[in-house]
């Protein structure tokens, strides 16, 4: 299956979605952005004001922090796929509620199965909860976990560093782990394919 076609197809379904109340206040839907053939997928929480205006995830202040963390390990954001738990902006940037997250889950699950990433990086509490409902970000961050066939790597949400700059060094060291983890996984993946 052509991954980019299917991701485009999901984006078009999202653009017409009226399953939850969030559609009423949105300017644009924010389906996700980047390379659908990537081995890395990043999942944040919900679009904010800048994302709602541009239709692209992580283009505001939190996005700048995310970009600099990615740059610090030489990863260009166009080479990975970035999306959110919900695809429309909650009013006044509140957290999306359980109902909104559930209504949007099918879109996210489809995106995950099309992209089939080696590693899913969750940003913050809400996206962690989807994969590891019984743990906290403080405990889970910076380690790898299994969810179905996927490797989950939770880290703090970049916006947390805006309020608490002391988190930034922790986030930088978590990002450093990601690049070596991915190298190791790619080697394992290639050797299983050669068998
Ligand atoms: N925060 C998120 O979780 N997602 C965005 O796209 C922007 C800010």
- Ligand 1, residue 62: give the atom nearest the CA: 8
Q: Ligand 1 pocket: which of 46, 81, 129, 155 to mutate (most atoms <8 Å of CB)? A: 46
pLDDT for 187? 67
Ligand 1 pocket by C-beta < 6 Å: which residues? 44-48, 51, 57-58, 60, 62, 84, 159
pLDDT for 54? 98
Please list the residues that pair with 43 across neighbouring strands. Answer: 83, 122
Distance 48 CA to ligand 1 centre (A): 6
Distance 47 CA to ligand 1 centre (A): 5
Query: How many residues are given for the chain?
Result: 195
Distance 128 CA to ligand 1 centre (A): 14
Cα 5–Cα 121–Cα 37 angle in degrees, nearest 5: 25
Question: Cα 168 from chain centroid?
Answer: 18
Question: Cα 156 from chain centroid?
Answer: 12
Q: Ligand 1 pocket: which of 58, 83, 121 to mutate (most atoms <8 Å of CB)? A: 58
pLDDT for 129? 97
Half-sphere exposure of 119 (CA within 13 A, CB side): 24
Residues 10, 106: contact at Cβ < 8 Å?
Answer: no
Distance 31 CA to ligand 1 centre (A): 12
pLDDT for 127? 98
Domain boundaries of the chain, sorted by first residue: 7-194
pTM: 0.93
CB atoms within 10 A of CB 90: 21
Architecture of domain 7-194: 3-Layer(aba) Sandwich (3.40)
Distance 57 CA to ligand 1 centre (A): 6
Per-residue pLDDT 10s for the chain (195 aa) are 445 569 999 999 999 999 999 999 999 999 999 999 999 999 999 999 999 999 999 999 999 999 999 999 999 999 999 999 999 999 999 999 999 999 999 999 999 999 999 999 999 999 999 999 999 999 999 999 999 999 999 999 999 999 999 999 999 999 999 878 877 776 665 565 555
- Ligand 1, residue 157: give the atom nearest the CA: 3
pLDDT for 86? 98
Query: How many angstroms separate the CA atoms of 195 and 189, rounded?
Result: 10
pLDDT for 15? 98
Measured CA to CA in angstroms, residue 140 lies from 19, 62, 117, 163 at distances of 32, 21, 20, 20
């Amino acid at each position: 299956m052509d991954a980019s076609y299917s991701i485009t197809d999901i984006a078009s379904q999202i653009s017409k979605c009226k399953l939850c109340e969030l559609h009423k206040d949105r300017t644009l839907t924010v389906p996700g952005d980047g390379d659908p053939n990537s081995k890395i997928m990043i999942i944040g929480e919900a679009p904010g004001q800048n994302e709602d205006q541009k239709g692209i995830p992580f283009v505001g202040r939190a996005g700048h922090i995310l970009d600099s963390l990615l740059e610090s390990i030489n990863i260009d954001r166009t080479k990975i796929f970035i999306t959110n738990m919900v695809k429309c902006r909650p009013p006044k940037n509140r957290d999306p509620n359980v109902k909104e997250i559930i209504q949007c889950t099918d879109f996210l699950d489809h995106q995950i199965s099309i992209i089939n990433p080696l590693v899913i990086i969750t940003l913050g509490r809400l996206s962690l909860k989807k994969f590891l409902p019984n743990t906290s970000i403080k405990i889970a961050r910076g380690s790898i976990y299994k969810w179905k066939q996927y490797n989950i790597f939770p880290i703090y949400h970049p916006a947390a560093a805006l309020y608490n700059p002391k988190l930034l060094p922790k986030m930088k060291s978590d990002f450093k782990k990601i690049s070596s983890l991915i190298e190791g996984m790619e080697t394992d993946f290639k050797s299983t394919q050669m068998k």
